[in-house]
Amino acid sequence: MKRISQEMTDLIHRGLDSHVRLAVTGLSRAGKTAFISSLVNQLVHTSTHDNLPLLAAARDKRIIGAKRVPQSNLMVPSFGYDEAMSQLHANPPHWPVPTRDVSEIRLAIKYKTHSRTRKLISKTSTLYLDVIDYPGEWLLDLPLLQLDFETWSAQQFNALHGKRAELAQEWLTQLDQLDLQQEANEKHLAEIAALYTDYLHRCKEAGLHWVQPGRFVLPGELAGAPVLQFFPCRPDTLQHKNGKHSMLALLKQRYEEYQNKVVKAFYKHHFATFDRQIVLVDCLSPLNEGHESFMDMRDALEQIMQSFRYGRSGMLSRLFAPKIDKVLFAATKADHVTPDQHPNMVALLQQMIHPAWQHTAYENIEMSCLSMASVRATQSGHIETGQGRVSAIQGTTLQGDNMTVYPGEVPKRLPNADFWHNRSFDFTAFRPMSGHQDEPLKHIRLDKALDTLIGDKLK
């Protein structure tokens, strides 16, 4: 009898425990690794520190403790939390190294429940939180599923103007010497594909983030695989009839393989398992870089948003049945600017995503925006100048110099090209602030992000 009742209690407990898969994405350098490291670090410290006042469960002292537990999906690499923390706690502290692939980490958060019904059975529950890190570039590939090779090629060539046209020169020279009707030669194809991949990398270095196929710049485990060896062709060279074994036939075959084995596989095995999503956006770097880079970031964001537009009848829904019901867009690295500029950061981010957001039906998905800093690198305060007191931030540059600066105003509307002519905005990269290992990392509004993303699961 005792055994049965123990089994019953276990069963009820399991029924009460919940599980959330929180996906974290953003274009490269958006701040994903810093965010996940800080999220884990904050949650494991919250039972002993008042570090998350904007997360209701933490503020009400209902979180009993959080710890890392083995992840459920054994086929995905583990998120490098210990490595990231040892870099952030080094002397001097430095930022974690760039990551290139999907990874995940699992936390068990034990909390005192609020809910009357839950309380009747047990006073405590556990939320299992899986946090998954994946490159935002992979979401740029979704539109490929609806484009055949010819249409995709035409789109890529349409986009070849401005900086892109310059950066593509080497690849184009080789492409123009290629006879698409000749018999397929894998080695030759690999060489031109390498030049195309170089071009995409150069776009990213120049601050242009809309690159397709997204896996070419962040291949993860597919680096060097033939499925990543193809490229778009000039539309006027695609009209000829081609043989079954021609270069063109092989290119098309690889493109289709990429659609099926890479893009679809990601949506099916990863994306469709996510419950909640945070998209990190670094709006400040494109402000530093210029108009073209800024507009490009906006386009890339619009493309990323298409992945959340699945509704009940969309193509994605039919294929993979995704279940994300909340998406939070977060403007990261807010500690780069003075606090009075934070509302402008949010307004700017909202304007970047609003057109796409308003003109399409995001059925049953809640979306919101905020600004935050996962790991603070600066302190804010005031300095006295000839004109009076002005707000400023203070930090240590990557070279080790202490600096107090006023980085400028963040425009609250989408800036036009003139903004960059009278450059009024410039920010410096700082080292993360040093802190003791026993103390949680310093952040700005990471707790607000957590409350939006998982607050309802901690009731």
Ligand X SMILES: Nc1nc2c(ncn2[C@@H]2O[C@H](COP(=O)(O)OP(=O)(O)OP(=O)(O)O)[C@@H](O)[C@H]2O)c(=O)[nH]1
Minimum CB distance to Mg ion smaller for 58 or for 88: 88
Q: Looking only at residues 116 through 135 of this chain, which bind ligand X when binding is defined by CB under 6 A? A: 135
Q: Interface with Mg ion includes 288 (CB under 5 A)?
A: no
Give the residue with the Cβ less far from ligand X, 79 or 308: 79
209 lies in the site for ligand X, by CB under 6 A: no
Distance (Å, whole) CA 319 – CA 266: 12
Please select the residue that binds ligand X; options are 31, 213, 232, 407, rule is CB under 6 A: 31
Q: How far is the CB of 55 from ligand X (least distance, A)?
A: 17
| Closest separation in Å from C-beta 32 to Mg ion | 5
Contact stretch for ligand X (CB under 6 A) within 289-297, 303-311, 370-378, 411-419: 370-378
Q: Which of 32, 164, 202, 443 touches Mg ion by CB under 5 A?
A: 32
- What the block records as the tokens of 63 is 């979180």
Q: From the list 41, 42, 341, 374, which residue makes contact with ligand X (rule: CB under 6 A)?
A: 374
Q: How many CB atoms lie within 10 A of CB 75?
A: 6
Binder of residue 285, out of ligand X, Mg ion, none (CB less than 5 to 8 A by kind)? none
Q: Candidates 29-37, 186-194, 343-351, 450-458 — which segment interacts with ligand X by CB under 6 A?
A: 29-37
- 300 vs 373 by CB, closer to ligand X: 373
Q: How many residues bind Mg ion (CB under 5 A)?
A: 3
Range in contact with ligand X (rule: CB under 6 A) among 44-52, 93-101, 267-275, 286-294: 93-101
Q: Is 33 an interacting residue with respect to Mg ion (CB under 5 A)?
A: yes
Interaction with Mg ion in 81-100: which residues (CB under 5 A)?
Answer: 99
Nearer to ligand X, 95 or 255 (CB): 95
Residues 318 to 347: which contact ligand X by CB under 6 A? Answer: 332-333, 335-336
From candidates 20, 22, 23, 30, binder to ligand X by CB under 6 A: 30
Please state, in angstroms and as integers, the Cα–Cα distance from residue 53 to each residue in 40, 273, 417, following that order.
16, 30, 40
Question: What is the C-alpha separation between 118 and 85, in angstroms, rounded?
Answer: 36
Altogether, the residues listed in the chain come to a count of: 459
Q: Residue from 76, 377, 393, 453 that binds ligand X (CB under 6 A)?
A: 377
Closest CB to ligand X among residues 229, 332 = 332
User: 253 is in the binding site of which of Mg ion, ligand X, none (Cβ under 5 to 8 A by kind)?
Assistant: none
How far is the C-alpha of 347 from the C-alpha of 412, rounded, in Å? 5
Residues that bind ligand X (CB under 6 A): 26, 28-34, 95-96, 98-99, 135, 332-333, 335-336, 373-375, 377, 429-430
